[in-house]
Every structure is written in structure tokens, then in C-alpha cells.
Structure 1
């Protein structure tokens, strides 16, 4: 514990918090004010800390004249489908690891978690030729399946930690009443596991939504691009550097994640802490 009884300690603590807050939130502040500046003000040699003539020109252009809505829809489809798939797989895998004892259970779980030790770019070297052999390159299905490597290991372990705390007596009582294992899982375990399920879904969705490397590599058609490559290739490329449009597009692209956390933060916090205390 820090001793904050002295004035010097309190002053140092407040200054440290202000420094950390500035470090974390200043880029977000600059993103917002840059999206509200016109091009003439945006490219001044001496930048202005506050827009002198705020404008929504970049937002209007991004939504009406560009392909941003299409990129957003593609990201919603791929990220949502991938998050659903990861959540379902992690549910069954986590419950299996937590409540069943069979040969190879721990090595399989450790093998899954070991995938997090490698950079995602290295895993892409193996995924790309596999997608080519399955004719899944430049398809949304191929991108959805490739996103599994992002979140499945961690999601499985999160649900494993939660399911380990589910009382065995509850499951044994249901078995004594004649319920099958699948019925116990679907009607008893899943209804009491909403917070960790929401946490896993949001975690998977966030990873897929923020991806740039996999979507740029697997998807080549412009009509199937997600928000990351769409913003990069539209506003920042070899012939164009529209920083105002890029800032506005980035703010618009962050809206789905922000809204998801606003409405589901209660479940997210409960899911993160679930299984932490026995």
C-alpha cells in the first residue's frame, strides 16, 4: 500500500495520474478535434489545439460519398459471425475441460493456449495456404474461420475458469433427476453463465473488428473488405493522405464497439471477475 498521508505523496500521486491520463486520452482528443477541422486548418504548420471553425464535412463525406457503410457492414458480418462461432466453441470446450476427466485433457488445453505464444502473422503463414486449398481465399467464410485463432484459446480458458466454479452438486442433482449431460449444459449451466458468455463474445468481436493483417491478406475484393483495410486504402495510400477523413472514419468505426460496451459493460465486468475467487 502507498502511504498518501503526506502532502508531497498526494501531490506526486495526482501528478502521476494526470500524466497517465494525458498519455491515454490525448490521442483520442486529437482524433476528435482533427475530424472536426477543415482541410485548411488541419494542414497548418502550427496545429491549433481547438478547431476555430468546426465542421462535419469529413463525417458527411465518409457516410455519403465513400464506401464506409459497406466496410462497416462487412465488419459487422465477419466480426459478429466469428464472435458467435468462437463463443459456441469455447462454451463446449471450456465445459469439457472443467467438468470431464479424460486422457489428454490437460495437454490439449495447454496446446490450445500455446497458440497465444506465437505472433498472429506467423500463424497466418500456415492459415493462408490452408485457405487456398479449401478455396476460401477472398471469401467472408475464410476470414471468419481465420479469426478463430485470435480469441478461441483465451475464450476457452476464461469459460473453463468459470465452469470450474460451478458446483458439481448442481450437476449431480440434475443427473439424479434423469437429465442428460447436454440438457444439463443447455438448461442449467448456460442460463447461469450469461456474464462470461457476454465477455467472451465481446472479446472475440473486438479482436475481429480491430484486425488489419488477416483481412488485408485473405480478402482481395473491395466489396468484401472490412473496416480496417477499407479505411487504410481509402484515406491513406500511395496517392492520397486524407487525414481528416481518416479521423472521421475512425470515429465512426469505433461506434459499434463503444455502444456494445455501454450496454453490456455490467455483464463484461462480471464475466472478467467470474472464476477469480473460489
Structure 2
């Protein structure tokens, strides 16, 4: 008895299930193009500065060939300058300012968010108004104020890193407090009430519960404060007068301020090393920035 084999019916053609090339470019492909352009746009200046730092006679002109000359002399020459002193001063000022901004801003934001007291609304409005005026408008007032304070307390006068930190803290307190105030309001107050029932004080609630839930905004404020302080030039140039007290931005500017004797090789080498702390702190705080706020803290 002969058997007849019936060919199995094929399903829809695989090619029909696959998105066409035109559709892929329309939905996904263009994103790769935009990402590639953005990467090139961001990396090109870094590559150019790195090439100039490795050239013994590095310049920033268009005739400088990329990596046409590779020499570590510019990096080695930094040891003969105040560069490492400037970098240490900048790290100290930026770190102290970032920590102080986070602590002071978080405490003020917690008070405005959780407590009800006379003048609370007026204080919030004052913080909002203060943000409208840039700190740079107070140059003359800051200079005269520190000039007078220096006669009484030299540590708070001109050419003092402590005075510069105080100026940074005063300028950043308003905007950061208002920023964290909105974030503190998103933390459920039921957590505070539950902790009070268990006998926790306001200090225990603040340090052990609230601050742990608002780590993302604390990381953002610390990062922004550190970067703005690290890269600041105008206030540091105004207050710090002696070369040993300069920050990195003021010191690097001094190497290229005179066009006749501009040392772009040292400038670019110092700029490459100075960028490392910014990248490091961003990578360290990135996991806090992208993390959730109160995931799993409240049931129901």
C-alpha cells in the first residue's frame, strides 16, 4: 500500500515577520546616527586637547596635527609648577562646599517641608526671589565685605580659602534648598508618623529615615555643587590673590593669559588631569542619581 506524503504547510514567510530595512531605519536606525554624531561632537574637543597636551610644543591652532608628536614632557613639567597645589586647593574647596551645601540645604529643606512655623511661607518666597539674581551681580559687595572682614577676622578676608567657601555656600544655599524642598515633599509623611509612634525623635527621623530616602537629590546637589565650584573662575580670581592660594581654573588661566608667552602645552596637560575628578565623582554618584526614591518604603 503506497503512502502519500503530504508536504507540511509552511507558516508565514519569515521575511514577512522581519521589519523591512526602511522601517528599521525609521524607527531605530536614526537613533544610532544621532548617538554617533553626539559622541563625535563630545569626544572631538577631548581628543584635540589630549593631542595638544602630548605635543612638546602643543598649540590650539588648526595646523597642529593630531598626535603628530607624542611626548610626556608637558605632564612631567607640571611638577615644577604650582599645579598640584592648585589642584589640591580646588579639591578641598569643592569638596567642602559640596558637603556643606548638602548638609545645610537638606536641613533647611526638611524644616520647610515638615514643620509649620511663622514666616515659613515668607521664607520660601524669599528663597525663590533670591534665585532670580545671579551671584555674579554681588561682585563689588562681596569684595568690599571681605575687605572689611579681613581687618577683624583675617580668615574671612581676602586671599582666604575659607572666605571663598563661605561665599560659595551663601550663593548656593537658596537654590539648593528650594530644589530639595520639593523633593522632600514627595516623601510620605506617614513614615514620620510611624517613626514618632515608635518613639523616634525629629533628629532620628531626619538622619536615619529621611536622608536615606532622599539620597538621589542629595547626590544631584552634591554633584552640581562640586562641578560648579571646581570650574569656577571669577569668584576665585576675585578673592584668592596669592599664587599658592589659587584654584586650578585661576592657575591655568595664568599660563595662557599672556598671548606672547602662552604655554598651551602645560595648559592642556593640566586641563586633562583636572577633568579626572569630575569624571570620577560623576561615575561614583551615577547609581544614586538614577535610583528610585521611595521604592518599597511604603506598602499598600
TM range (shorter): 0.7 to 0.9
Question: Residue 30 of structure 1 aligns with which residue?
Answer: 48
Matched, 1:205 2:205: no
Matched, 1:61 2:74: no
Alignment length (residue pairs): 267
Moved over 6 A (4+): 8-12
Question: Residue 251 of structure 2 aligns with which residue?
Answer: 230
**TM-score (structure 2 length as normaliser):** 0.79
Say whether the 8 Å CA contact 1:90–1:152 is kept in structure 2: yes
Question: Residue 92 of structure 2 aligns with which residue?
Answer: 77
- Residue 83 of structure 1 aligns to a residue whose secondary structure is helix
Q: CA deviation at 1:206?
A: 1.1
Q: Between 13-22 and 64-73, report the one with greater CA deviation.
A: 13-22
Matched, 1:172 2:188: no
Question: Residue 98 of structure 1 aligns with which residue?
Answer: 113
Identify if the C-alpha distance between structure 1 residues 161 and 31 changes in structure 2 by more than 3 Å, giving closer, same or farther: same
Identify if the C-alpha distance between structure 1 residues 234 and 114 changes in structure 2 by more than 3 Å, giving closer, same or farther: same
Distance in structure 2 (CA, Å) of the matches to 1:43 and 1:179: 61
Question: What does 1:1-278 correspond to in 2, within 5 Å?
Answer: 5=23, 7=25, 16-39=34-57, 42=59, 46-48=63-65, 50-62=66-78, 64-135=79-150, 136-237=157-258, 239-270=260-291, 274=293
Q: Between 28-37 and 122-131, report the one with greater CA deviation.
A: 122-131
Say whether the 8 Å CA contact 1:58–1:244 is kept in structure 2: yes
- Residue 147 of structure 1 aligns to a residue whose secondary structure is helix
Mark the structure with the bigger radius of gyration: 2
Q: CA deviation at 1:54?
A: 1.1
- Residue 134 of structure 1 aligns to a residue whose secondary structure is helix
CA RMSD of aligned residues (A): 2.5
Say whether the 8 Å CA contact 2:219–2:285 is kept in structure 1: yes
Deviation string, structure 1 residues 69-127 (Cα, Å, up to 9, x no partner):
00011111111111111111101111112112233323322322333322332022332
- Residue 214 of structure 2 aligns to a residue whose secondary structure is helix
Identify if the C-alpha distance between structure 1 residues 20 and 262 changes in structure 2 by more than 3 Å, giving closer, same or farther: closer
Distance in structure 2 (CA, Å) of the matches to 1:114 and 1:77: 30
Identify if the C-alpha distance between structure 1 residues 209 and 163 changes in structure 2 by more than 3 Å, giving closer, same or farther: same
- Residue 212 of structure 2 aligns to a residue whose secondary structure is helix
**What stretches of structure 2 of length at least 5 have no aligned partner?**
1-21, 151-156, 295-300
